[in-house]
Structure 1
């Protein structure tokens, strides 16, 4: 029996050795990688002084990570399907460690950007971890484990902000990256010791032309979205990048449909269940990130504005931290709902909870505990939505394409979060008040962004309603369009 058709050890009815350890290690690795999203937030305002560079240039310390992650996530996913998911997981963690060390030793802008790019290249860890779980875990454990792994993206971001603020307030800023490197080393050692290599692989030839085309298209798109406010939405550069993204991605899609071994199987991606889930993921990304943009600002704005609470960055981080814990707690609940009613229902419930959280925030925004409550409600909704997405994707693709398909879904969420940042930036820049000669976002501006977050969640609910009904989250066999999973067929034969 070939590797591509082999049923991995432990994917049958009995649990493989150390199943709990595998789940814990993969979730920990996901949290460590997701920490990089909030790692530099406490020092963003100080970077021009720390790196002796203009603020417009130091902003690339954030943008570079976003662009690198967008390019690396689908590429690493495809390489994982071809050459081994654990192998590419280890490569990703090593990139995180090297990038963290480069940043930790940086005192100028160029090495900082290089290090942040390397950190961004590690973003494939979460979809790879989900794919390893599909290959190695018994069906009864799969739903809860993948829900936890998917939620680790939000958990790391929520827990990273207070931790980073605490380190930045009490230690030299380089310590942020030494801690990141240390956590990466721990994750690497645990993966080497406890995570098995999957035998489910596609083999074949890597699509370099497709990778270059996708990278060019995504970089053009995300660069226009993330820098459009700085350059001007009507500037030639921004419009040119949007136009280039459209042309390149259309040409890339045409090429991918005609190559025998594409980077992304667009025919699989076009299956209704995969396509609609990915569209809903973009809306969920917008809904999730709106909270991260509004709550810390409201907490830190001066109380003299009448709506700011005058709190420190550390306090703002601590207010957000419980949402990450709530995401972790709701992961098994999400899996239970998916098992009983299907992951489509779980996604729709989560979207409604997120929308309710934003509605609550519009009414309650005058006390610190208001924001703790709101962040927990939204975190619960995100836990439901993130927990359901891997089940929906895995329910429509063969095991040999799991990593690539989950990576694409992760990319869709990233596009949503990038769009949320751009949308909120435009709104808050237009709706301002004069505070001692300084233009600050107004209370109405924040409420509009919160309303956008609620609207995005309701859009995700509406889009998710078009997902075909699925049997259960724990059954990874495709149920819509296409052929049966070859690994499943081999196991039954």
Structure 2
């Protein structure tokens, strides 16, 4: 079945048809590298938050803003950057986003106070806009036969970047190493991406139109009102006045955004596009996979470091051993998975690829929940979980590509990126809340230590499996079969 959106895809403007004469083989690697950067920046501070708190003598509540600031900034700028790229051309917006990311990395790497660090992390939130911009570049610059494959390769860098970030943090901060090292890494990566993008990306005009800046402000406010209590609720208290107030405020603002878009001639986001069956199913799947990703990464990272002598579970792994032995195999596997997933998307359709990835994710989470006493079994399950995440995200841009017109590519992928961010925020909050709520105090020579119960980890892994299962149901029944 072909929709009006599909027809729009089949006949993009001649000015934006990539041709062999203008196609640069470096465009795809450059865009995949940019996606890797944003994923690296998103994840790299997560395992380092306790260390940052210790070295800056800051409470866990305050240091949590190091992660929250980036997420809130990202929710505000991602849809705006996507639309700016569609209207004015992706190259200049990508370079602007990289300059902001570079500035944020520099501030974070040099600052010695929590306030400066939070400010730097907020600027790093500009990197989240790189994903929809990269997908837009691929759509407009690659030959038609290579677009779906290229999108899959770039999107799979999300999983690789997150896994690499966990490994890098473990290596750079082992034995209480200076937390500034992780920001030196993001600084170097941001500088490299800026130079690469400036050299590789062609100077092309955008598709034209206007930018709904008022809509961007309202949407950003609504997303901040939603994500702030999700990320801070476990510290504020889920029943506290700020948490409840923001949860009530968020849907009101987002509803107002919907009314505003319906009455705007050139809206930031076309609600009719978001309501399209395949687009809606893909975005919901992105949310569920985002939730599952943090169930895998946070749950597994904390589990393997649990002192087995005290708790009766875990592997008493150091931060370095956690990174190299448990996280690195899955990260390395993510590298070839992008091209492989891309080929399957072209041959069999993105729907089946997403379905297969989600089913693999369910199996991996079931294994983590039931078979976590043996190191080898645990590593295999983690590798499978990493593969499921990388392949699932590789399929999503191709699904959107089939049902979104060229001028809406950036914004459509921005919404998908936001859904991933929301899912990850919810997953992180749920896992942390479950683990904290079950904490039991153990006596050690250095004093009492509060550690989660084994059942709390099982619950976290089961919830990750449920999230993957919901993504599988969306792929099986929410998407039509004629996707390739």
So what's the TM-score if we normalise by structure 1?
A: 0.90
1:453 counterpart residue number: 464
Q: 1:240 aligns with which of 245, 249, 266?
A: 245
Counterparts in 2 of 1:432 and 1:395: CA distance versus 1, 3 Å: same
- For the residue of structure 1 that corresponds to 2:128, the secondary structure is coil
Q: 1:179 aligns with which of 181, 185, 208?
A: 185
2:372 counterpart residue number: 365
Tell me if structure 2 keeps the 8 A contact 1:26–1:149: yes
Counterparts in 2 of 1:198 and 1:349: CA distance versus 1, 3 Å: farther
1:467 counterpart residue number: 478
Distance 1:78 1:408 in 2: 11
- For the residue of structure 2 that corresponds to 1:122, the secondary structure is helix
1:427 counterpart residue number: 434
Q: 2:39 aligns with which of 13, 28, 34?
A: 34
Matches within 5 A, 1:151-190: 151-169=156-174, 172-190=178-196
Distance 1:42 1:393 in 2: 32
1:306 counterpart residue number: 312
Segments of 5+ residues of structure 1 without an aligned counterpart are 474-493
Q: Do structure 1's residue 327 and structure 2's residue 334 form an aligned pair?
A: yes
- For the residue of structure 2 that corresponds to 1:263, the secondary structure is coil
Q: Do structure 1's residue 285 and structure 2's residue 290 form an aligned pair?
A: yes
Alignment deviations for residues 172-217 of structure 1 (CA, whole Å, 9 cap, x no partner): 332322221122111111111112244451x232212111111111
Tell me if structure 2 keeps the 8 A contact 1:344–1:388: yes
Matches within 5 A, 1:115-130: 115-130=120-135
Distance 1:52 1:438 in 2: 19
Segments of 5+ residues of structure 2 without an aligned counterpart are 1-10
Alignment deviations for residues 230-283 of structure 1 (CA, whole Å, 9 cap, x no partner): 111111111100000011111111111111111111111111111111112111
Alignment deviations for residues 345-366 of structure 1 (CA, whole Å, 9 cap, x no partner): 1111111010011111123212
Distance 1:324 1:126 in 2: 19
Counterparts in 2 of 1:138 and 1:15: CA distance versus 1, 3 Å: farther
Deviation at 1:229, TM superposition (A): 1.1
Q: 1:442 aligns with which of 449, 453, 458?
A: 453
- For the residue of structure 2 that corresponds to 1:215, the secondary structure is helix
Tell me if structure 1 keeps the 8 A contact 2:229–2:247: yes
Distance 1:279 1:353 in 2: 18
Q: Do structure 1's residue 139 and structure 2's residue 150 form an aligned pair?
A: no
2:407 counterpart residue number: 400
1:107 counterpart residue number: 112
Q: 2:226 aligns with which of 221, 224, 242?
A: 221
Deviation at 1:137, TM superposition (A): 0.7
* Superposed CA RMSD: 1.9
Deviation at 1:138, TM superposition (A): 1.3
So what's the TM-score if we normalise by structure 2?
A: 0.92
How many residue pairs get aligned? The number is 467
- For the residue of structure 2 that corresponds to 1:465, the secondary structure is helix
Q: Do structure 1's residue 195 and structure 2's residue 206 form an aligned pair?
A: no
